[in-house]
Structure 1
């Protein structure tokens, strides 16, 4: 066993947990190539893809233990059901740490430098800021778009004996069970770039989706939904 292999085996163990759907021509390749060096296992739910998403997951994660569950049809109209499926499949592999990222979310590379230090402290939840990228080089910031002003959990240490409860809503239920809010946590410098809004076609698709799945904005913010297609949003250049 060489020194690099020995180090990888003795570092804190991360399981990447992800939901994907028709990501072949979006950001999945960039996401998996970026995160691959930091993870030790992956659990991925392919939620009814009709393109080569599943094959791309297998290709890019070759050599890393992978659980790939392929739903024949999408469950996203009932997001909490889908997130519960993701959670159950993930904890079934008895993870140490769970890194929960969507296919269009990419951690900045400074995470790699800090990885083992962050996971070796007393905290059991690691919080980062998320930036809604409105292009490849700028994020949106205004009254309706300020996710980056807050820290949110992306990485948690799994407690097998803990009771995990969910926000039982069909949309915007959260990526983790509500119960993880009780874990000791820390906020850290690495950031998450969310590219889900970066292309106009994606913004249109999401606008239509929310108008269809949540027409009365029972689970989201009506004004924010309506602002998705703003012609001249306020954008801030991304800086590394």
Structure 2
């Protein structure tokens, strides 16, 4: 495996996370030196070279594909905070998640497009195509397969969150978001262990650091 120089990010605000995402995006297109040759031998760790010079492997593709869907669900959970009475710290957290994860999704979509890989459909695609936030979450998740993705909420759980009373909503949202973040951290660690594409590995570090910080915050808010 090649040696990668990793920039450590420990962002504690959406501004730092977005700045990190922009910096990572600017790195796209750089030629990387990776382990193995540039042709896939069918194993997950085998490297491939995209037309733009990106060197990546199947772990990078899985990370980007899965994290796009994972982030999309987090943003849908943030959408459900609209019109709810939240503590200021919880409202700020929701705003930070939206500000960080939207640009991260766009970055990963760009990677998959450059690699000529499929960009996965997400529940937010459904909500923007004939559905709206008044529909049941299960309708927006129709056809989505997330059973093997750590931390993802089921359609039933999303409906339960949407239908929660104001008195129940905040704690339910925090508890679900903690689980969701823990899943993202697990996925990010796997990418750092198995990936080849430097930008994806750097983003995984950003996600692990930022979401661990947010987990600590949410657990504190839950008491």
**Given the two structures, how large is their TM-score scaled by the length of structure 1?**
0.28
The structure with the greater share of residues assigned to helix is: 2
